[in-house]
Amino acid sequence: MQKVYLDNAATTQVREEVIAKMQEALAEHYGNPSSTHSFGRTAKTVVEKARKTIAKTLNAQPSEIIFTSGGTEADNMILRCAVRDLGVETLITSKVEHHAVLHTAEELEKEFNVTLQFVDLDENGTPVLSHLETLLKQDDSKKLVSLMHVNNEIGNILDIESVAKLCHENGALFHSDTVQSIGHYPWDVQTVPIDFMVAAAHKFHGPKGIGFAFIRKNSGLKPFIFGGSQERGFRAGTEPFHNIVGLEEAFVKSYENLQEETRFVRGLKQYFIEKIAEKIPGVEFNGLSGDMGKSTYTLANIRLPFDKQKGLMLLFHLDMKGIACSKGSACQSGSNLGSHVLTQILATEELEKPSIRFSFSKYNTKEELDYAIDVLKEFAES
C-alpha cells in the first residue's frame, strides 16, 4: 500500500540534517548548560549560539528569544503573564484562533475577570480590521490583541503589518500565534511592531517538544516557571539541549532554502487545486485556502460534495489507502466536535458535508497528490 503524508500543518517530517545534529548532541554534548565545568560551558555555548542564530534571522535581540516546549506553552505563557504582570484588562481575539489562545483567554476571563472581546470575521473567516479599530478605541482599558498570522485550518493570512500598526497607534499590546508561519515566511520584528510571537520547531521539519517565544525587550513580563535561572530566569528548568540543537538546524535550513522550497510547495498546492477541481466536480475550498494570493501555500481545506453519512467514512477510507490528512486541525481530530473554525464561516448545510485539510511540504510529490485525488474520486463514485 502506498503511504502519502499530507498532514504537514499538524507536524512535519524531520530533516535528515536535523536528526544528525541531534544525535551528535545526545552522544557527545551531554553536559548541563547550567554547570560551570567544561561540559556545561560547551552546552551553554551551543544554546546561546542557537538563540543568536534565531534572533539574527528575525532581526531581534538574543535576549528577546525564550525557548519553550512549543507554541501552546508560549501562547499560554505570554497571555497569562500579560494579564498578570502588565495590567491587561481587555483581551481582543477572534473565534477562529487556535485553542491554545482561545482556551487560555477563556480561563483568564474567569480567573482575572478580564473583558474578552472577539473581532468580527468576514465571510471567509478573516478578522475585520475596521471592527478591530472600533474595539481598540472603545475605552481606555489596557488591551492585548491576539490574532494568528496564518490560520492553521483554513490558511487565511492576516494583514499582520496593519494589525500591528493599529495596536501600536492605540497603545495596545499585540501577540500573534505565528506557529504556521515561522519557518515558512520571512520575518523582521523591527519593521512589524509586534510585541509577542511564538514558534514550534515541528512545524518546519524540526523536533517536537521545542519552540520559542519572541518577547519584545523591556516588556515587563515576569517569570512564568520558577526554579533555576535558565532562560534569563523567565522559564526555569534544564534546557533540552538536543532539542534546541534540532530547532536551530531546522530553523537555519528553512531560511537558507526558503525561496526554493516555497516555490516548490506553492507549485504543489497550485497543482492540487487545479487537479481536484478537475477530477471532483462540486468540490469547494473553505476560507481563502483556494486563493493562492490570500492563503498560505502550505495547505488547502476542501469541502466535498458528499452527504453526511458518506462523509463519516471518508477519513477512515483515506487512512486505509495510506493517505494521512486531517479534518480541521489535528489537535481536535480525536474529538466528536466539529471544527470551531468552520463553524464560524459555514452555513448549517455546508457543515453537513465533509471538509478535509490537506497540507504540503518539500517531501511531497505531484505523484502523491495524483494518488490522493484518485482515491477521493474513486470514493466519490462508489
Q: Which residue has the cell 567544561?
A: 38
- Cα separation values, 101 from 108, 116, 147, 241, Å: 10, 12, 9, 27
DSSP for 278-333, written as a single string: HHSTT-EE-TTTT-TTTB-TTEEEEE-S--HHHHTTHHHHHHHTTEE-BSS-GGGT
DSSP state of 257: T
Q: Which residue has the cell 494570493?
A: 293
Q: Which residue has the cell 463519516?
A: 312
Cα separation of 331 and 82, whole Å?
25
DSSP state of 330: G
DSSP for 204-243, written as a single string: GTS-TT-EEEEE-TT-----SB-SS-TGGGTB-S---HHH
81 is catalytic: no
- Give me the phi and psi of 312, to 5 degrees please: -60, -25
Categorise residue 210: left if φ over 0, alpha if ψ from -120 to 50, beta otherwise: beta
Catalytic, out of 81, 167, 325, 331: 331
The residue count of the chain comes to: 382
Cα separation of 313 and 199, whole Å?
34
Looking at the annotation, which residues are catalytic? 331
